[in-house]
Amino acid sequence: MWSNFFMQQEEDARMGGHVGTGAGAGGGGGRSKNRARSSHMSESQEGKIKMAFFVAIVGVTLTVLGLGTEFWVELAQPKHFQNSQSCQMVHYGLWKACTRTLWVSDIDPERESCGPAELPGESNCTYFKFYTSGENAVIFKKTTDKNLSLASAMLALFSLFLMVMGSVCIIMSLTKNVPFLLKPASVCFLISGILILLSIIVFHQSVLALLASDHSVPLHYELSWSVACVGSAGAILLVGGILFLLLSLPFNPFKKCIMHQNSSA
């Protein structure tokens, strides 16, 4: 009788152990499935990321357009400075400068300086020697500041590099269906937007340094459309970086604020 009782207890213990092991395995599998599900983005989140990426791509495109053109600033002599039928002006960017000879008769009579650069005339463009021999350029007897010009160009190039890195992170996040790359992408776009705006500030300081180097030739200067492109790109990149940062958060900050206001009311 006692032997039968002990045998029955052992069978019950073995059955209970099997059931507990199965339940533990099932619970672990459920938790791993939940973790796997939480590590992937939903379709709505993927659509929001694509929209934010489109905004960032617009900023990158404007940056490339601005960096590749030489219409950052226009320097113009008074249109009657040479007492002839023509006048000269210069427009340049980060890499090269172009000297244009325009006809005074084509210029608006109410305009005192030569220009704008869109008028027909002869043009002669040369690349700066900052990046080869280290020489400064002379424009209308005025000398450029090599250090400021190089700093502006390096800031712009590093900003472009960060844009490329941020774009790679977003593409990998979309193709691999993982949202954790949104945070490094947001940091890349935010820093790139700040750097490209700093590049404009440093470039403007280089223009002021150029004008202050010699006062024998009066010049009128104005920032041109390339700077407008780059400035707009910087603002758009900052917006894109903020959007990616919000999308990387584990909760919706707007819904949380609304719920907090409702609960306090």
Domain boundaries, the chain: 43-249
Q: Cα 39 vs. chain centroid, distance in angstroms?
A: 27
Contact partners, residue 243, CB within 8 Å, separation at least 6: 48, 52, 55, 186
The Cα–Cα gap between 198 and 190 comes to 13
pLDDT band at 30 (very low <50, low <70, confident <90, very high): very low
| Statement: residue 225 has pLDDT above 80 | yes
Give the sign of the dihedral formed by CA 260, CA 261, CA 264, CA 265: negative
* Average confidence (pLDDT) over 27-46: 55
| Statement: residue 240 has pLDDT above 50 | yes
Contact partners, residue 2, CB within 8 Å, separation at least 6: none
Question: Rounded to the nearest 5°, which phi and psi values hold at 99?
Answer: -100, 125
Query: Quick check: 192 and 162 in contact, CB under 8 A?
Result: yes
Question: Residue 104 has what DSSP assignment?
Answer: G
Q: What percent of the chain has pLDDT over 90?
A: 51
Among 69-83, 176-190, 250-264, the minimum mean pLDDT is found in 250-264
* Average confidence (pLDDT) over 97-107: 91
Give the pLDDT score at 90. 94
As a dihedral over the C-alpha atoms of residue 129, residue 196, residue 157, residue 159, rounded to 10 degrees, the angle is: 170
Single pTM value for the model: 0.78
Query: Quick check: 214 and 142 in contact, CB under 8 A?
Result: yes
| Statement: residue 22 has pLDDT above 50 | no
The Cα–Cα gap between 162 and 143 comes to 32
Q: Which residues pair with 185 in a beta bridge?
A: none
| Statement: residue 183 has pLDDT above 60 | yes
> What pLDDT, in 10s, does the model give residues 60-69?
999 999 999 9
Query: Quick check: 114 and 85 in contact, CB under 8 A?
Result: no
Higher pLDDT, 55 or 179: 55
| Statement: residue 26 has pLDDT above 90 | no
| Statement: residue 249 has pLDDT above 50 | yes
Q: Which residues pair with 138 in a beta bridge?
A: 143
CATH topology of domain 43-249: Butyryl-CoA Dehydrogenase, subunit A; domain 3 (1.20.140)
Q: What percent of the chain has pLDDT over 70?
A: 79
Give the sign of the dihedral formed by CA 76, CA 77, CA 78, CA 79: negative
